[in-house]
């Protein structure tokens, strides 16, 4: 078995390692750790959301979008995933697609401001 630093340890240890990379703004390294963790526990939202955030901050916007769409499909009222999906789409210049996600996120967050 050939393991690397990124996939070594228990899921809890890898989760902690990913968080340290993320906090240190090494988003690409966090994504490397989280990619394997998400494959191992695909039903958990926390690792997938942090993976999406890592992709977003490292400008891997298509990958961020893919992960966020999985979360939103599974849990349509996941406020932060909706917000992140909207912002990810905006960064790609897809404002029309972003608008409904941002509106839903605002409503779920208790902000009902009209544009």
CA distances from 45 to 62, 77, 80, 96, 98 (A): 18, 12, 11, 26, 21
1 has pLDDT over 50:
no
Q: Give residue 27's pLDDT.
A: 97
Q: Give residue 92's pLDDT.
A: 97
- pLDDT, tens digit, 9 for 90 and up, residues 50-96: 999 999 999 999 999 999 999 999 999 999 999 999 999 999 999 99
Residue 108 structure tokens: 């779920």
Q: Are 78 and 72 in contact (CB under 8 A)?
A: yes
pTM attached to this predicted model: 0.89
d(CA 84, CA 29): 20
39 has pLDDT over 90:
yes
Residue 97 structure tokens: 């697609």
């Amino acid at each position: 078995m050939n393991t690397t630093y990124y996939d070594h340890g228990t899921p809890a240890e890898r989760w902690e390692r990913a968080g340290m990379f993320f906090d240190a703004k090494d988003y690409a390294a966090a994504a490397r750790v989280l990619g394997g963790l998400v494959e191992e526990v695909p039903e958990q939202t926390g690792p997938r959301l942090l993976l999406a955030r890592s992709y977003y901050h490292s400008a891997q916007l298509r990958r961020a979008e893919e992960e966020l769409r999985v979360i939103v499909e599974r849990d349509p009222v996941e406020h932060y995933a909706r917000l992140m999906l909207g912002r990810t789409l905006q960064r790609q210049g897809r404002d029309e697609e972003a608008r409904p996600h941002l509106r839903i996120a605002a409503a779920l967050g208790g902000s009902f401001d009209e544009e």
